[in-house]
Structure 1
Amino acid sequence: MKTSLLLIHPTLPERKLRHGFNWGALLLSTLWAFSEGLIPQAGRLFALDMGIKLLCTFDSQLTWALAFLLTLGKAIYCGRRGNGWLSKKWMSQGYHPG
Protein backbone atom coordinates (compact mmCIF):
# COMPACT_ATOMS: atom_id res chain seq x y z
CA MET A 1 0.00 0.00 0.00
CA LYS A 2 1.34 3.40 -0.97
CA THR A 3 1.72 5.90 1.82
CA SER A 4 2.17 8.91 -0.45
CA LEU A 5 1.48 10.05 -4.00
CA LEU A 6 4.05 11.87 -6.12
CA LEU A 7 2.48 14.41 -8.46
CA ILE A 8 4.50 15.66 -11.43
CA HIS A 9 3.98 18.79 -13.51
CA PRO A 10 5.85 19.58 -16.76
CA THR A 11 7.13 22.97 -15.55
CA LEU A 12 6.30 23.31 -11.84
CA PRO A 13 8.07 21.49 -9.01
CA GLU A 14 6.97 18.02 -7.91
CA ARG A 15 4.44 17.68 -5.13
CA LYS A 16 4.22 14.85 -2.63
CA LEU A 17 0.84 14.12 -1.09
CA ARG A 18 0.41 11.77 1.84
CA HIS A 19 -2.63 9.50 1.90
CA GLY A 20 -4.94 9.52 4.86
CA PHE A 21 -5.59 12.02 7.60
CA ASN A 22 -4.26 15.59 7.40
CA TRP A 23 -3.22 16.79 10.85
CA GLY A 24 -2.56 20.35 9.72
CA ALA A 25 -6.11 20.61 8.45
CA LEU A 26 -7.42 19.20 11.73
CA LEU A 27 -5.57 21.65 13.94
CA LEU A 28 -5.78 24.84 11.85
CA SER A 29 -8.57 24.14 9.39
CA THR A 30 -9.44 27.62 8.09
CA LEU A 31 -5.88 28.96 8.20
CA TRP A 32 -4.59 25.77 6.61
CA ALA A 33 -7.07 26.04 3.73
CA PHE A 34 -6.12 29.67 3.08
CA SER A 35 -2.39 28.84 3.23
CA GLU A 36 -2.80 26.01 0.70
CA GLY A 37 -4.72 28.25 -1.69
CA LEU A 38 -8.01 26.41 -1.26
CA ILE A 39 -10.01 29.62 -1.43
CA PRO A 40 -13.55 28.18 -1.94
CA GLN A 41 -13.15 25.74 0.95
CA ALA A 42 -11.48 28.39 3.11
CA GLY A 43 -14.33 30.82 2.46
CA ARG A 44 -16.90 28.25 3.52
CA LEU A 45 -14.90 27.38 6.62
CA PHE A 46 -14.57 31.07 7.49
CA ALA A 47 -18.34 31.55 7.12
CA LEU A 48 -18.90 28.55 9.40
CA ASP A 49 -16.43 30.00 11.93
CA MET A 50 -18.33 33.29 11.94
CA GLY A 51 -21.62 31.45 12.43
CA ILE A 52 -20.16 29.54 15.35
CA LYS A 53 -18.84 32.75 16.90
CA LEU A 54 -22.25 34.36 16.47
CA LEU A 55 -23.77 31.37 18.20
CA CYS A 56 -21.44 31.99 21.15
CA THR A 57 -22.97 35.44 21.69
CA PHE A 58 -26.03 33.73 23.17
CA ASP A 59 -24.67 33.02 26.62
CA SER A 60 -26.08 29.64 27.57
CA GLN A 61 -24.57 26.25 28.16
CA LEU A 62 -26.51 24.73 25.27
CA THR A 63 -25.20 27.19 22.68
CA TRP A 64 -21.63 26.84 23.94
CA ALA A 65 -21.90 23.05 23.75
CA LEU A 66 -23.34 23.29 20.24
CA ALA A 67 -20.54 25.65 19.20
CA PHE A 68 -17.95 23.23 20.58
CA LEU A 69 -19.49 20.29 18.72
CA LEU A 70 -19.67 22.26 15.46
CA THR A 71 -16.03 23.31 15.80
CA LEU A 72 -14.93 19.75 16.56
CA GLY A 73 -16.96 18.40 13.63
CA LYS A 74 -15.50 21.02 11.27
CA ALA A 75 -11.96 20.12 12.35
CA ILE A 76 -12.48 16.38 11.87
CA TYR A 77 -14.17 16.94 8.49
CA CYS A 78 -11.22 19.06 7.32
CA GLY A 79 -8.72 16.51 8.57
CA ARG A 80 -10.41 13.71 6.65
CA ARG A 81 -11.01 15.70 3.43
CA GLY A 82 -7.91 17.92 3.35
CA ASN A 83 -5.65 15.74 1.23
CA GLY A 84 -8.47 15.12 -1.23
CA TRP A 85 -8.95 18.86 -1.65
CA LEU A 86 -5.24 19.30 -2.31
CA SER A 87 -5.21 16.45 -4.82
CA LYS A 88 -8.13 17.92 -6.79
CA LYS A 89 -6.53 21.36 -6.78
CA TRP A 90 -3.18 20.12 -8.02
CA MET A 91 -4.74 17.85 -10.66
CA SER A 92 -6.70 20.83 -12.01
CA GLN A 93 -3.39 22.74 -12.25
CA GLY A 94 -1.94 20.08 -14.56
CA TYR A 95 -0.21 17.71 -12.15
CA HIS A 96 -0.43 13.99 -12.83
CA PRO A 97 0.61 10.96 -10.78
CA GLY A 98 4.19 9.97 -11.43
Structure 2
Amino acid sequence: MGERIYLSRPGADETVGVATGFSWGALLLGFIWALSKRMWFAAFAMVAVDLLLCLPDLWFDDRGIVGLILSTLFGIVCGKYGNEWHRRTLERRGYVVL
Protein backbone atom coordinates (compact mmCIF):
# COMPACT_ATOMS: atom_id res chain seq x y z
CA MET A 1 0.00 0.00 0.00
CA GLY A 2 1.39 3.35 -1.03
CA GLU A 3 1.47 6.58 0.84
CA ARG A 4 -1.28 9.17 0.74
CA ILE A 5 -1.28 12.86 -0.04
CA TYR A 6 -3.94 14.83 1.82
CA LEU A 7 -5.63 17.82 0.24
CA SER A 8 -8.12 20.21 1.73
CA ARG A 9 -10.24 23.02 0.39
CA PRO A 10 -9.58 26.39 2.07
CA GLY A 11 -12.65 27.63 3.89
CA ALA A 12 -14.28 24.20 3.99
CA ASP A 13 -13.92 21.44 6.53
CA GLU A 14 -13.15 18.76 3.96
CA THR A 15 -9.98 16.70 3.56
CA VAL A 16 -9.40 14.20 0.78
CA GLY A 17 -6.67 11.57 0.79
CA VAL A 18 -5.19 10.62 -2.58
CA ALA A 19 -2.99 7.56 -2.81
CA THR A 20 0.39 7.76 -4.49
CA GLY A 21 1.77 5.21 -6.87
CA PHE A 22 -0.12 2.73 -9.01
CA SER A 23 -3.93 2.85 -9.10
CA TRP A 24 -5.45 -0.61 -9.39
CA GLY A 25 -8.91 0.94 -9.62
CA ALA A 26 -7.93 2.94 -12.71
CA LEU A 27 -6.41 -0.17 -14.29
CA LEU A 28 -9.29 -2.54 -13.63
CA LEU A 29 -12.32 -0.21 -13.75
CA GLY A 30 -11.16 2.54 -16.12
CA PHE A 31 -13.81 5.17 -16.76
CA ILE A 32 -16.01 3.85 -13.91
CA TRP A 33 -13.15 4.63 -11.50
CA ALA A 34 -12.88 8.14 -12.99
CA LEU A 35 -16.64 8.68 -12.59
CA SER A 36 -16.45 7.59 -8.94
CA LYS A 37 -13.77 10.26 -8.39
CA ARG A 38 -15.90 12.88 -10.19
CA MET A 39 -13.29 13.24 -12.92
CA TRP A 40 -15.73 13.89 -15.76
CA PHE A 41 -13.27 14.82 -18.50
CA ALA A 42 -10.99 11.89 -17.69
CA ALA A 43 -13.94 9.49 -17.82
CA PHE A 44 -15.02 10.86 -21.20
CA ALA A 45 -11.45 10.62 -22.51
CA MET A 46 -11.10 7.03 -21.26
CA VAL A 47 -14.31 5.98 -23.02
CA ALA A 48 -13.20 7.70 -26.23
CA VAL A 49 -9.77 6.05 -26.18
CA ASP A 50 -11.30 2.64 -25.40
CA LEU A 51 -13.61 3.00 -28.39
CA LEU A 52 -10.73 4.05 -30.63
CA LEU A 53 -8.70 1.06 -29.48
CA CYS A 54 -11.46 -1.25 -30.69
CA LEU A 55 -11.21 0.08 -34.24
CA PRO A 56 -8.10 -1.91 -35.29
CA ASP A 57 -10.09 -5.11 -34.76
CA LEU A 58 -12.27 -4.07 -37.68
CA TRP A 59 -9.28 -3.86 -40.03
CA PHE A 60 -7.12 -6.78 -38.91
CA ASP A 61 -7.93 -10.49 -39.07
CA ASP A 62 -6.47 -11.27 -35.64
CA ARG A 63 -9.93 -11.22 -34.04
CA GLY A 64 -9.36 -9.11 -30.99
CA ILE A 65 -5.66 -9.65 -30.31
CA VAL A 66 -4.62 -6.17 -31.43
CA GLY A 67 -7.42 -4.49 -29.49
CA LEU A 68 -6.69 -6.58 -26.42
CA ILE A 69 -3.02 -5.64 -26.44
CA LEU A 70 -3.74 -1.94 -26.98
CA SER A 71 -6.46 -1.90 -24.31
CA THR A 72 -4.16 -3.62 -21.83
CA LEU A 73 -1.41 -1.06 -22.48
CA PHE A 74 -3.91 1.78 -22.08
CA GLY A 75 -5.12 0.27 -18.79
CA ILE A 76 -1.55 0.13 -17.50
CA VAL A 77 -1.04 3.80 -18.43
CA CYS A 78 -4.26 4.72 -16.61
CA GLY A 79 -3.10 2.77 -13.55
CA LYS A 80 0.30 4.42 -13.58
CA TYR A 81 -1.02 7.99 -13.83
CA GLY A 82 -4.52 7.66 -12.32
CA ASN A 83 -3.74 8.90 -8.83
CA GLU A 84 -1.73 11.80 -10.23
CA TRP A 85 -4.69 12.77 -12.45
CA HIS A 86 -6.96 12.62 -9.41
CA ARG A 87 -4.66 14.89 -7.39
CA ARG A 88 -4.39 17.40 -10.24
CA THR A 89 -8.16 17.44 -10.69
CA LEU A 90 -8.63 18.25 -7.01
CA GLU A 91 -5.99 20.99 -7.19
CA ARG A 92 -7.83 22.58 -10.15
CA ARG A 93 -10.96 22.60 -8.00
CA GLY A 94 -9.18 24.65 -5.36
CA TYR A 95 -7.81 21.98 -3.02
CA VAL A 96 -4.35 22.51 -1.60
CA VAL A 97 -1.86 19.95 -0.34
CA LEU A 98 -1.58 19.87 3.45
TM above 0.5? yes
Moved over 6 A (4+): none
**What is the identity, as a one-letter code, of the residue corresponding to 2:14?**
P
Computed over aligned residues only, the root mean square deviation of the Cα atoms, in angstroms, reads: 1.9
**What is the identity, as a one-letter code, of the residue corresponding to 1:82?**
G
2:8–2:14 Cα contact (<8 Å) kept: yes
Q: TM-score, normalised by structure 1?
A: 0.83
Alpha-carbon distance in structure 1 between the residues aligned to 2:54 and 2:24? 23
- Structure 2, unaligned runs of 5 or more: none
Offset, 1:58? 5.0
Structure 1 partner of 2:34:
33
Structure 2 partner of 1:44:
45
Structure 2 partner of 1:89:
89
**What is the identity, as a one-letter code, of the residue corresponding to 1:56?**
D
Structure 2 partner of 1:75:
75
Alpha-carbon distance in structure 2 between the residues aligned to 1:88 and 1:3? 17
**What is the identity, as a one-letter code, of the residue corresponding to 1:13?**
E
Alpha-carbon distance in structure 2 between the residues aligned to 1:87 and 1:58? 38
Q: TM-score, normalised by structure 2?
A: 0.83
Structure 2 partner of 1:23:
24
Which one is further off, 19-28 or 6-15?
A: 6-15
Alpha-carbon distance in structure 1 between the residues aligned to 2:36 and 2:6? 20
- Structure 1, unaligned runs of 5 or more: none
Alpha-carbon distance in structure 2 between the residues aligned to 1:48 and 1:89? 19
Which one is further off, 48-57 or 28-37?
A: 48-57
Alpha-carbon distance in structure 2 between the residues aligned to 1:58 and 1:34? 31
